Protein backbone atom coordinates (compact mmCIF):
# COMPACT_ATOMS: atom_id res chain seq x y z
CA UNK A 1 0.00 0.00 0.00
CA UNK A 2 1.24 3.47 -0.82
CA UNK A 3 0.03 6.98 -0.12
CA UNK A 4 -0.39 9.90 -2.51
CA UNK A 5 -0.96 13.36 -1.06
CA UNK A 6 -2.37 16.74 -1.98
CA UNK A 7 -0.17 19.50 -0.54
CA UNK A 8 -1.94 22.77 0.17
CA UNK A 9 -3.56 24.93 2.82
CA UNK A 10 -7.23 25.15 3.77
CA UNK A 11 -8.03 22.37 1.28
CA UNK A 12 -10.79 20.49 3.06
CA UNK A 13 -13.07 21.32 0.12
CA UNK A 14 -10.96 19.27 -2.32
CA UNK A 15 -12.69 16.60 -4.41
CA UNK A 16 -9.38 15.03 -5.45
CA UNK A 17 -9.44 12.25 -2.82
CA UNK A 18 -12.83 11.01 -4.04
CA UNK A 19 -11.63 11.03 -7.65
CA UNK A 20 -8.22 9.43 -7.12
CA UNK A 21 -9.32 6.83 -4.58
CA UNK A 22 -12.06 5.71 -6.98
CA UNK A 23 -9.38 5.35 -9.66
CA UNK A 24 -7.11 3.26 -7.41
CA UNK A 25 -10.02 0.98 -6.55
CA UNK A 26 -10.94 0.55 -10.23
CA UNK A 27 -7.32 -0.38 -10.99
CA UNK A 28 -7.27 -2.91 -8.15
CA UNK A 29 -4.55 -1.01 -6.28
CA UNK A 30 -4.35 -0.69 -2.48
CA UNK A 31 -3.13 2.92 -2.62
CA UNK A 32 -4.81 5.82 -0.90
CA UNK A 33 -4.94 9.54 -1.64
CA UNK A 34 -5.09 11.97 1.26
CA UNK A 35 -5.03 15.68 1.99
CA UNK A 36 -1.93 17.20 3.60
CA UNK A 37 -2.89 20.65 4.86
CA UNK A 38 0.48 22.18 5.65
CA UNK A 39 2.10 25.62 5.95
CA UNK A 40 4.90 26.71 3.63
CA UNK A 41 7.50 26.11 6.35
CA UNK A 42 6.70 22.37 6.27
CA UNK A 43 7.05 21.94 2.51
CA UNK A 44 10.66 20.70 2.64
CA UNK A 45 9.61 17.94 5.05
CA UNK A 46 6.70 16.96 2.82
CA UNK A 47 8.96 16.82 -0.24
CA UNK A 48 11.46 14.70 1.72
CA UNK A 49 8.68 12.18 2.39
CA UNK A 50 8.03 11.99 -1.34
CA UNK A 51 11.72 11.59 -2.09
CA UNK A 52 12.46 8.83 0.43
CA UNK A 53 9.45 6.60 0.02
CA UNK A 54 6.98 7.39 2.77
CA UNK A 55 4.71 8.80 0.07
CA UNK A 56 4.65 7.69 -3.56
CA UNK A 57 3.62 10.91 -5.30
CA UNK A 58 1.65 14.05 -4.85
CA UNK A 59 -0.37 16.93 -6.16
CA UNK A 60 0.16 20.54 -5.17
CA UNK A 61 -2.46 23.25 -4.82
CA UNK A 62 -2.90 26.73 -3.36
CA UNK A 63 -0.66 28.31 -2.12
CA UNK A 64 2.29 25.97 -2.72
CA UNK A 65 2.60 25.58 -6.52
CA UNK A 66 5.25 28.26 -6.94
CA UNK A 67 7.24 27.21 -3.84
CA UNK A 68 7.34 23.53 -4.83
CA UNK A 69 8.77 24.54 -8.21
CA UNK A 70 11.83 25.73 -6.26
CA UNK A 71 12.14 22.47 -4.30
CA UNK A 72 11.93 19.73 -6.94
CA UNK A 73 15.03 18.40 -8.69
CA UNK A 74 13.74 18.96 -12.20
CA UNK A 75 10.61 20.07 -14.04
CA UNK A 76 8.91 18.98 -17.24
CA UNK A 77 8.37 21.48 -20.04
CA UNK A 78 4.89 22.45 -18.83
CA UNK A 79 5.99 23.18 -15.28
CA UNK A 80 9.01 25.10 -16.53
CA UNK A 81 6.81 27.22 -18.81
CA UNK A 82 4.37 28.02 -16.01
CA UNK A 83 6.95 28.29 -13.24
CA UNK A 84 4.56 26.30 -11.05
CA UNK A 85 4.19 22.63 -10.12
CA UNK A 86 0.92 20.83 -9.42
CA UNK A 87 2.15 17.21 -9.66
CA UNK A 88 5.25 15.59 -8.17
CA UNK A 89 6.59 12.27 -9.47
CA UNK A 90 9.51 10.30 -8.01
CA UNK A 91 11.90 8.97 -10.65
CA UNK A 92 15.12 7.18 -9.69
CA UNK A 93 15.33 9.03 -6.39
CA UNK A 94 14.73 12.43 -7.93
CA UNK A 95 11.58 14.53 -7.65
CA UNK A 96 10.18 15.70 -10.97
CA UNK A 97 7.67 18.54 -11.00
CA UNK A 98 4.93 18.48 -13.62
CA UNK A 99 2.14 20.85 -14.51
CA UNK A 100 -0.93 18.90 -15.55
CA UNK A 101 -3.09 22.00 -15.01
CA UNK A 102 -1.88 23.48 -18.29
CA UNK A 103 -3.15 20.82 -20.74
CA UNK A 104 -6.37 20.46 -18.75
CA UNK A 105 -6.97 24.21 -19.06
CA UNK A 106 -6.18 24.18 -22.77
CA UNK A 107 -8.87 21.52 -23.21
CA UNK A 108 -11.36 23.64 -21.25
CA UNK A 109 -10.66 26.83 -23.20
CA UNK A 110 -10.78 25.04 -26.55
CA UNK A 111 -14.18 23.59 -25.65
CA UNK A 112 -15.56 26.95 -24.52
CA UNK A 113 -13.97 29.79 -26.54
CA UNK A 114 -11.04 28.88 -28.83
CA UNK A 115 -9.24 31.79 -30.51
CA UNK A 116 -10.72 34.33 -28.10
CA UNK A 117 -10.56 37.92 -29.32
CA UNK A 118 -9.94 39.29 -25.82
CA UNK A 119 -9.72 37.16 -22.69
CA UNK A 120 -9.78 38.72 -19.22
CA UNK A 121 -8.17 36.63 -16.45
CA UNK A 122 -8.88 37.34 -12.79
CA UNK A 123 -6.11 36.22 -10.44
CA UNK A 124 -2.35 36.08 -10.20
CA UNK A 125 -1.21 32.84 -8.54
CA UNK A 126 0.10 29.60 -10.02
CA UNK A 127 -3.31 28.87 -11.56
CA UNK A 128 -3.36 32.32 -13.14
CA UNK A 129 0.01 31.66 -14.79
CA UNK A 130 -1.22 28.38 -16.23
CA UNK A 131 -4.34 30.06 -17.57
CA UNK A 132 -2.29 32.66 -19.45
CA UNK A 133 -0.30 29.96 -21.21
CA UNK A 134 -3.41 27.89 -21.87
CA UNK A 135 -5.03 30.88 -23.53
CA UNK A 136 -1.92 31.39 -25.66
CA UNK A 137 -1.98 27.73 -26.70
CA UNK A 138 -5.72 28.01 -27.47
CA UNK A 139 -5.13 30.92 -29.83
CA UNK A 140 -6.30 33.89 -27.77
CA UNK A 141 -5.37 37.09 -29.59
CA UNK A 142 -5.33 39.39 -26.56
CA UNK A 143 -5.16 38.54 -22.85
CA UNK A 144 -5.52 40.93 -19.92
CA UNK A 145 -4.67 39.77 -16.41
CA UNK A 146 -6.37 41.58 -13.54
CA UNK A 147 -4.95 41.58 -10.01
CA UNK A 148 -6.85 42.64 -6.91
CA UNK A 149 -5.20 46.06 -7.11
CA UNK A 150 -6.88 46.63 -10.48
CA UNK A 151 -10.32 45.24 -9.62
CA UNK A 152 -11.98 48.56 -10.45
CA UNK A 153 -10.90 48.12 -14.09
CA UNK A 154 -13.07 45.01 -14.57
CA UNK A 155 -16.18 46.77 -16.00
CA UNK A 156 -14.14 48.58 -18.64
CA UNK A 157 -12.10 45.51 -19.56
CA UNK A 158 -15.12 43.24 -19.89
CA UNK A 159 -16.84 45.68 -22.24
CA UNK A 160 -14.86 44.38 -25.23
CA UNK A 161 -13.94 40.91 -23.93
CA UNK A 162 -15.38 37.64 -25.24
CA UNK A 163 -13.93 35.36 -22.53
CA UNK A 164 -13.71 35.78 -18.76
CA UNK A 165 -11.63 33.37 -16.65
CA UNK A 166 -11.87 33.36 -12.86
CA UNK A 167 -8.53 32.06 -11.54
CA UNK A 168 -9.17 33.33 -8.00
CA UNK A 169 -10.62 31.28 -5.11
CA UNK A 170 -13.61 33.64 -4.89
CA UNK A 171 -16.77 31.55 -4.81
CA UNK A 172 -15.21 28.46 -3.26
CA UNK A 173 -17.69 27.00 -0.80
CA UNK A 174 -19.87 30.10 -0.98
CA UNK A 175 -22.30 32.09 -3.13
CA UNK A 176 -19.79 34.87 -3.71
CA UNK A 177 -18.85 35.97 -7.20
CA UNK A 178 -15.93 38.09 -8.42
CA UNK A 179 -18.05 39.78 -11.10
CA UNK A 180 -21.50 41.38 -10.69
CA UNK A 181 -24.18 39.70 -12.79
CA UNK A 182 -24.96 42.93 -14.63
CA UNK A 183 -21.52 42.84 -16.29
CA UNK A 184 -22.19 39.44 -17.88
CA UNK A 185 -23.76 39.09 -21.31
CA UNK A 186 -24.53 36.55 -24.01
CA UNK A 187 -21.30 36.99 -25.99
CA UNK A 188 -18.99 36.81 -22.95
CA UNK A 189 -18.05 33.17 -22.30
CA UNK A 190 -17.09 32.35 -18.71
CA UNK A 191 -14.65 29.77 -17.33
CA UNK A 192 -14.56 29.54 -13.53
CA UNK A 193 -11.73 27.44 -12.11
CA UNK A 194 -13.70 27.06 -8.86
CA UNK A 195 -15.55 23.73 -8.75
CA UNK A 196 -17.18 23.64 -5.32
CA UNK A 197 -20.05 24.44 -5.42
CA UNK A 198 -20.64 23.20 -8.93
CA UNK A 199 -21.88 25.24 -10.69
CA UNK A 200 -20.72 28.42 -8.96
CA UNK A 201 -22.74 31.61 -8.74
CA UNK A 202 -20.56 33.13 -11.48
CA UNK A 203 -21.36 30.25 -13.83
CA UNK A 204 -25.06 30.40 -12.98
CA UNK A 205 -25.17 34.17 -13.54
CA UNK A 206 -23.40 33.79 -16.89
CA UNK A 207 -25.80 31.09 -18.03
CA UNK A 208 -28.74 33.24 -16.94
CA UNK A 209 -27.36 35.95 -19.24
CA UNK A 210 -27.33 33.43 -22.09
CA UNK A 211 -23.55 32.96 -22.13
CA UNK A 212 -21.65 29.69 -22.47
CA UNK A 213 -20.11 28.99 -19.07
CA UNK A 214 -18.34 26.14 -17.29
CA UNK A 215 -16.93 25.54 -13.83
CA UNK A 216 -13.65 23.95 -12.85
CA UNK A 217 -14.67 20.32 -12.33
CA UNK A 218 -13.65 19.38 -15.85
CA UNK A 219 -10.22 20.92 -15.30
CA UNK A 220 -9.92 18.98 -12.02
CA UNK A 221 -10.66 15.77 -13.92
CA UNK A 222 -8.25 16.67 -16.71
CA UNK A 223 -5.34 17.40 -14.42
CA UNK A 224 -6.24 14.46 -12.17
CA UNK A 225 -6.14 11.70 -14.77
CA UNK A 226 -2.91 13.09 -16.19
CA UNK A 227 -1.37 13.07 -12.68
CA UNK A 228 -2.45 9.48 -12.13
CA UNK A 229 -0.89 8.34 -15.40
CA UNK A 230 2.36 10.14 -14.54
CA UNK A 231 2.54 8.42 -11.12
CA UNK A 232 1.58 4.92 -12.21
CA UNK A 233 2.49 4.66 -15.89
CA UNK A 234 -0.86 3.07 -16.76
CA UNK A 235 -3.99 4.44 -18.49
CA UNK A 236 -6.28 6.22 -16.06
CA UNK A 237 -9.89 5.02 -15.65
CA UNK A 238 -11.24 8.41 -16.73
CA UNK A 239 -14.93 7.51 -16.71
CA UNK A 240 -14.65 6.11 -13.19
CA UNK A 241 -12.99 9.32 -12.07
CA UNK A 242 -15.66 11.40 -13.81
CA UNK A 243 -18.45 9.52 -12.08
CA UNK A 244 -16.71 9.86 -8.70
CA UNK A 245 -16.64 13.63 -9.18
CA UNK A 246 -20.34 13.67 -10.06
CA UNK A 247 -21.11 11.75 -6.88
CA UNK A 248 -18.91 14.10 -4.85
CA UNK A 249 -19.96 17.41 -6.46
CA UNK A 250 -23.43 16.66 -7.80
CA UNK A 251 -24.79 15.66 -11.19
CA UNK A 252 -24.67 19.30 -12.37
CA UNK A 253 -20.87 19.40 -12.09
CA UNK A 254 -19.16 20.27 -15.39
CA UNK A 255 -17.25 17.05 -15.91
* Residues annotated as part of the active site: 65
Alpha-carbon distance of 116 to 60, in angstroms, equals 29
Contacts of 28 (CB under 8 A, 6+ apart): none
Nearest to 213 by CA among 223, 205, 221, 225: 205
Amino acid sequence: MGRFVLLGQHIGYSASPAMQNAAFAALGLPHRYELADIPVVDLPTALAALRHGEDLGGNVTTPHKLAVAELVDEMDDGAARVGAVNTVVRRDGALVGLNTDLPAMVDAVMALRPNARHAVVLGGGGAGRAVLLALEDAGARRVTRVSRDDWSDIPQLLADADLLVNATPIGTGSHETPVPAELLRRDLAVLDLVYRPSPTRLVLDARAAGAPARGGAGILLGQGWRSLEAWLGVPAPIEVMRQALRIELGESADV
